[in-house]
Structure 1
Amino acid sequence: MKKVTVIAILFLLVFNAYAQRIDQYFPSSELTTVGAYYYPEHWNESQWERDFQKMAEMGFEFTHFAEFAWAQLEPQEGVYDFVWLDKAVDLATKYKLKVVMCTSTATPPVWLVRKHPDVLKSNEDGTTYDHGSRQHASFSNEYYRAYSQKMITELAKHYGNDKRIIGWQLDNEPASNTDFGEDAQIRYRNWLKRKYTTIDALNKAWGTNFWSGTYSDFSEINIPKHKQWGMNLYQRLDHSRFCDYETSSFLDEQAQTIRKYADAGQWITTNYIPYYDARYVGASKELDFISYTRYMVYGEHPGIGTKGYRVGEYSRIAMANDYFRPLSPLYGVMELQPGQVNWGSINSQPLPGAVRLWLWHVFAGGSKFTCTYRFRAPIYGYEQYHYGIVGPDGVTPTSGGKEFQQFMDEIKVLRENAGDDKVPEDYLNRKTAILYDPDNTVAINQNKQTVVWNTEEHVLKYYKPLKAFGAPVDFIRDTMDFSGYAVLVLPAYQQMSLKLIGKLSTYVNNGGNLVMSCRSGHQDEFGHLWEAKHAEPIYKLIGGEIEFYDLLRPYAPDTILMDNLTYAWTSWGDILKPANNTEIWGNYAGDFYSGKPAVTCNKLGDGTVTYVGADSNSGDLEFNVLEKLYKRLDIGIENYPKGIIVEYRDGFGIAMNYSDKVYQMKLPIGSEILLGTKDIPTAGVLVWKL
């Protein structure tokens, strides 16, 4: 048997095993399932049954326990109490609600903190956190890591074979573990030893000959003072990597403990906030899949139009969907905003219909489940005034609660109409990847060169046009396969290895179309500038040289001229010197390098490389470059206005409107509208069967 055939068979076996596992967790016939957080410890036990009955009547199919309940689970050291939680599980089951069980490592009990104060995080200035909030214990503290496993072991022993428990959530919104305590210092040095093996290798990677920074032993290395001016950039970069590792490894240890006792049918996940500079997202290999948290209206994002802040920024759920989906066999949303919140800068009411819009958007991206914090609005504590599905009386549905109920009723309509997984061919033809590495973002952000630069906003200047084109988008890593994408976009990919450059060259020579933006290929994978011309290793790819780069003052933007249109730019501009056979698409105008190329397109093998040298102020340059490329490639695109998102899944088309105007959707002949109308209002949703 040929080797390629064996590999293909093995791939199919693994794929089928994954598919069976996913269907075991979340049956495809259900399409999606919806749940709500519940905190039995917050309410009088006499109210629990009423609450679960109400939850089930509204259409919820699962609930979520014990996220912050360590003090109730282990009221004294070594003394465990599961009686109250057993009652809650019994009552949830009575009303056919499945249960997600959580580890409570975000909130250690006070007896643990007072007996072992070293478990608390230490700040750079030597001050420490204290009991009374959450995420105040350090994942780098050896005692805390070990003792947490004791509690998790007891929890897993008790519920690991309980068929009513469908899965486990580890911690809550785990973030990068930044701690300056003694154990963190020791663990950081040990992490460096494992990574570099010898101190000479570390010195070379960190470039410690600069400013007499050379180390002779790992014991001399301290956690870098991030607030101290001029600290070694690579030391800071490695420390941030270590902090992310501490988070991912802590989650892996929890998962390994649970798996010793858990039933094979119980899945394990955690809920990340979608930070795009977080390496720990997707790094815990012991998880079955990952999920995210998303809040849309809390005063930070203006949205579209004067009242857009009530609907939220349309790319936030879209990008989270497209970022998480490729990192995991499946994904879900563990926290979706149920209504008004209390912790934002300005806690406005969402527009009526916005919560339902978000639910449909999560579903449209491929999510297998959505859960919300929380069923009952809290009447005390830090999150007082935060909406729930029902209000503080525990009975009356909130506006967001009614929209959750509406969505769940609408999903039943889809279940009744479910057919094949047909997807329009032109939609699949537009499938595009964005090559993205959070480590690259961290490296750029710690050395921006200009206060005007914003890495995430730069990525969005490429991502938003793709969604306007109606393209399915995957954020992929450099270890993944590029060949399934006609177009691959690399926004500001500053750190590149020669291996990656070779892989990109192969992709293009084989017919792929690469779009690279400014700030790409300037450094090697260690963050060092090349000992060569500026970004020289990518010259063959882009079909020319980068003569130099420029950074403008915020009050003095300049322009780029392309196809008789002008585009303002300020933050970064690579001034290009293309080879004779490289096509020039746009030129700089208005400064001493006026007329020099800013945008080029190089034919390489069977593919192309388009280089966009500047970060435009509005994103219009990036949009028009992508539009020009797709038309040249004869890839059919849509032209959805800002705020309109259209996706396909499970044989359904879903269109959503975040804009401030009614949008009229054109549907293919023969489409059967299941929900909504072709005239989609603000916060409206249209669903049709293909």
Structure 2
Amino acid sequence: MVLPIGLQAQQPSSKQWFKDKDLTLTGVYYYPEHWDESQWNRDFKKMHELGFEFTHFAEFAWAQLEPSEGKYDFAWLDRAVALAAKHDLKVVLCTSTATPPVWLSRKYPEILLRQEDGTVLDHGARQHASFASPLYRELSYKMIERLAEHYGNDARVIGWQLDNEPAVQFDYNPKAEMAFRDFLRNKYDNSIKALNDAWGTSFWSEVYTTFDEITLPKTRQMFMNHHQILDYRRFAAGVTNDFLNEQSLLIKKYAKNQWVTTNYIPNYDEGHIGGSKELDFVSYTRYMVYGDNEGIGRRGYRVGNPLRIAFANDFFRPIQGTYGVMELQPGQVNWGSINPQPLPGAVRLWLWSVFAGGSDFVCTYRYRQPLYGTEQYHYGIVGTDGVTVTPGGREYQEFISEVKMLRKEFSPRDKKPKDYVDRTTAILFNHENAWSIDRQKQNATWSTMGHIEKYYRTLKSFGAPVDFITEEKDFSQYPVLIAPAYQLADKDLVERWTNYVQNGGNLVLTCRTAQKDRFGRLFAAPFGSLINNLTGNSMDFYDLLLPKDPGVVEMAGKKYTWNTWGEILIPGKDSQVWATYAQEFYDGKPAVTFRKLGKGTITYIGVDSTDGSLEADILKKLYTTLNIPVMDLPYGVTMEYRNGFAIVLNYSDEPYEFTLPTGAKVLIGSAVIPTAGVLVYKI
């Protein structure tokens, strides 16, 4: 079901939804349908007393909103909205499409999602319906339109969340296969020859004579055509994006001064985040403690990965200039491999981490710990008795009171020190590079996201503001632009990179860049030729080593190990060699080069180091060369600015003493920041 263009509505900009003076708003999920109605008033009253400013309804309530096909019941939700408003709580509504009711699943089984192995998902969980099913969409849109018509002009409702954690479905429903063929017909202008050329089907006798012969690719089948899989992933991401776009347009047909978003899981390489242009802005969910020790030190698993929230902030914020966090862990969860208690102070630390990146709101999942269902052991703001505030609930209360105190001190959001702004850096990201590389990694130890994170980790140690950007963005606003492992490229992109450098930009390219065209095909030229004129180099060859016997790269007398990917470069006459290989038969050959071009510079890093220490030292040398001032924060400590405030966060396993600038006014914390501690100051 495609909505007519006439449904497209002009909505206020994101700056009109949220005000600088509020800094950030804090909310909490609530499920009225889970609790006896006699308890609602008590619960909303307590929410307000704890300081929450909005609540969140109807995420999984389709069965209550439409008990039978075409029969709607909003009376219970009306009462919940009215009680929330009585206690000064605004409401975010959800479209409930993640949980179709049983009447829909039984009457229309063709809407059920089918996995690659043939398993058909069934009622009894969630996300079991196919986004590619026209019938499922039609039934969803009928319900959503009635909901939007009922609440679209309700001033108590401030916004809408679409679905819940909508992911890219790798769906083998027959309707998905038909839609995939239509996608291909449209992409290749109904020319099967163009498709065969793009997919290289002359290889292994894969040639198609009609689009009707094409099936969804069996990704688990060894050596399945990776060009076909690339297009399938584009199609699958597009189906999710279209489903969200169409929901958004329906709501905007009725909504008055209400925003529309959805809560993505930050699976950056799935390819759908940022693809639904009808959303007013994007938001994400984030859980930090769930059994994996990605933190620092023996008890790091109680605090979490120091960059997990920062990375999400820097990825989501640039998409539309604002973002929120729709789900943030309030305590133990139920779905991890092991579900430990967070370290005291960790929940507050996460809240401040979200705030530091520039969020406009943060919402926690959930208010009450459930007594039944899959999430019985998932902590809430209050416990199983419905009244006792949990440790995480107290930390939310503390954060809310601190934000209210800061509202007396705020400045415009873009007020930031010059040295901080001067080190602003962009990382150019395209999920399709990960798709292409990961089908042909060439080395089992290669990690595309791990490669990117080596650069990101160093930038955060610099105290640098970072934006993850797409090719849609203007490169020129960034002093430094890093494009890690940017495998899929074309002449237009290389020309944009070249113009960026010649006009004064400083570009960093890394190994595996521009090796293939946008269809995933190699160029009929030596490896790397597309960027030779830009980098000033040519590539002699590339090498891959065993992880148990890594190679060595040397720079300025220091040695670094590597094994996943290394390009042996032939530098041009105006290229400076910054690092060379050692030990191998190409001992002494260049691995890293630097070149001035026009008003800017181009740094090419042809190797992926084992631990990121080489990448860190290269960036330190580059920023020194460019006279860009940087900090030297240890891993686990980050700093950001917003609204005139500096926020310093300590995820490390020991106290950190931060050197305050002259004249700084400390508002929260102290210069000695304990583990899970926060320092907020104003200059």
**Counterpart of 2:555 in structure 1: which amino acid?**
M
The answer as to 2:527 corresponding to 1:534 is yes
1:442 Cα deviation from its structure 2 partner: 1.4
What is the 5 A alignment of 1:116-515? 116-197=108-189, 198-263=191-256, 265-421=257-413, 422-515=415-508
- 1:257-288 C-alpha deviation (Å, 9 max, x unpaired): 1111111x100000001111122101111111
The answer as to 2:643 corresponding to 1:650 is yes
Distance 1:22 1:409 in 2: 25
1:511 Cα deviation from its structure 2 partner: 1.4
- 1:516-541 C-alpha deviation (Å, 9 max, x unpaired): 11111111122111100111011111
**In the alignment, what sits opposite 1:561?**
554
**Counterpart of 1:594 in structure 2: which amino acid?**
D
- 1:587-644 C-alpha deviation (Å, 9 max, x unpaired): 1111111111111112211211111111111100000000000001111110000011
Distance 1:75 1:242 in 2: 33
What is the 5 A alignment of 1:571-590? 571-590=564-583
Distance 1:56 1:445 in 2: 48
1:157 Cα deviation from its structure 2 partner: 1.2
Query: Could you list the runs of 4 or more consecutive aligned residues of structure 1 that deviate by over 4 angstroms after TM superposition?
Result: none
Structure 2 residue matching 1:34: 3-state secondary structure? strand
Distance 2:627 2:53 in 1: 45
1:420/1:226 CA distance change after superposition, 3 Å: closer
The answer as to 2:63 corresponding to 1:36 is no
Distance 2:653 2:552 in 1: 30
**In the alignment, what sits opposite 2:4?**
none
- Higher mean Cα deviation, 295-304 or 337-346? 295-304
Question: Structure 2 residue aligned with 1:101, among 58, 78, 93?
Answer: 93
**Counterpart of 1:615 in structure 2: which amino acid?**
D
Distance 2:462 2:117 in 1: 49
- 1:533-561 C-alpha deviation (Å, 9 max, x unpaired): 11101111111111111111111111101
Distance 1:142 1:594 in 2: 60
Does structure 2 retain, via aligned residues, the 8 Å contact 1:255–1:268?
Answer: yes
Distance 2:17 2:559 in 1: 52
Structure 1 residue matching 2:594: 3-state secondary structure? strand
Structure 2 residue matching 1:417: 3-state secondary structure? coil
**Counterpart of 1:624 in structure 2: which amino acid?**
D
1:565 Cα deviation from its structure 2 partner: 0.5
Does structure 1 retain, via aligned residues, the 8 Å contact 2:14–2:281?
Answer: no
**In the alignment, what sits opposite 2:102?**
110
Distance 1:521 1:225 in 2: 27
Distance 1:345 1:449 in 2: 30
Distance 1:489 1:94 in 2: 50
Structure 1 residue matching 2:158: 3-state secondary structure? strand
Distance 1:62 1:572 in 2: 49
**Counterpart of 1:688 in structure 2: which amino acid?**
Y
**Counterpart of 1:603 in structure 2: which amino acid?**
K
1:23 Cα deviation from its structure 2 partner: 4.0
Distance 1:668 1:339 in 2: 35
**Counterpart of 1:344 in structure 2: which amino acid?**
G
Structure 2 residue matching 1:188: 3-state secondary structure? helix
- 1:380-415 C-alpha deviation (Å, 9 max, x unpaired): 111111010111111011111000000000001100
What is the 5 A alignment of 1:52-131? 52-131=44-123
The answer as to 2:682 corresponding to 1:689 is yes
- 1:141-174 C-alpha deviation (Å, 9 max, x unpaired): 1110111001101111111111111000000000
Distance 1:302 1:468 in 2: 17
Distance 2:589 2:371 in 1: 63
**Counterpart of 1:336 in structure 2: which amino acid?**
L
Does structure 2 retain, via aligned residues, the 8 Å contact 1:435–1:476?
Answer: yes
Distance 2:311 2:461 in 1: 13
Distance 1:249 1:270 in 2: 13
Does structure 2 retain, via aligned residues, the 8 Å contact 1:452–1:571?
Answer: yes
**In the alignment, what sits opposite 1:545?**
538
**In the alignment, what sits opposite 2:517?**
524
1:215 Cα deviation from its structure 2 partner: 1.2
Does structure 2 retain, via aligned residues, the 8 Å contact 1:419–1:651?
Answer: yes
Provide TM-score, normalisation by structure 2: 0.97
- 1:16-41 C-alpha deviation (Å, 9 max, x unpaired): x99x7334322221111000000001
**Counterpart of 2:516 in structure 1: which amino acid?**
Q
Provide TM-score, normalisation by structure 1: 0.96
**Counterpart of 1:384 in structure 2: which amino acid?**
Q
**Counterpart of 1:383 in structure 2: which amino acid?**
E
- 1:177-202 C-alpha deviation (Å, 9 max, x unpaired): 22111111111100111111111111
Distance 1:420 1:144 in 2: 45
Structure 2 residue matching 1:277: 3-state secondary structure? helix
1:118 Cα deviation from its structure 2 partner: 1.0
Distance 2:487 2:661 in 1: 42
Does structure 2 retain, via aligned residues, the 8 Å contact 1:237–1:443?
Answer: yes
- What number of residue pairs does the alignment pair up? 672
Distance 1:301 1:530 in 2: 42
Does structure 2 retain, via aligned residues, the 8 Å contact 1:488–1:513?
Answer: yes
Distance 2:423 2:329 in 1: 31
- 1:396-453 C-alpha deviation (Å, 9 max, x unpaired): 1111100000000000110011234531110000001111111111111122111100
**Counterpart of 1:277 in structure 2: which amino acid?**
D
1:204 Cα deviation from its structure 2 partner: 1.2
Structure 1 residue matching 2:560: 3-state secondary structure? strand
Gaps of 5+ in 2: 1-9
Distance 1:273 1:149 in 2: 23
Question: Structure 1 residue aligned with 2:652, among 653, 659, 664?
Answer: 659
Structure 2 residue matching 1:256: 3-state secondary structure? helix
Does structure 1 retain, via aligned residues, the 8 Å contact 2:13–2:280?
Answer: no
- 1:59-104 C-alpha deviation (Å, 9 max, x unpaired): 0000000000001111111111111111110110000000000001
1:580 Cα deviation from its structure 2 partner: 2.3
**In the alignment, what sits opposite 1:12?**
none
Give identity over the alignment, percent: 58
Distance 1:123 1:420 in 2: 49
**In the alignment, what sits opposite 1:14?**
none
Structure 1 residue matching 2:355: 3-state secondary structure? helix
Does structure 2 retain, via aligned residues, the 8 Å contact 1:498–1:524?
Answer: no
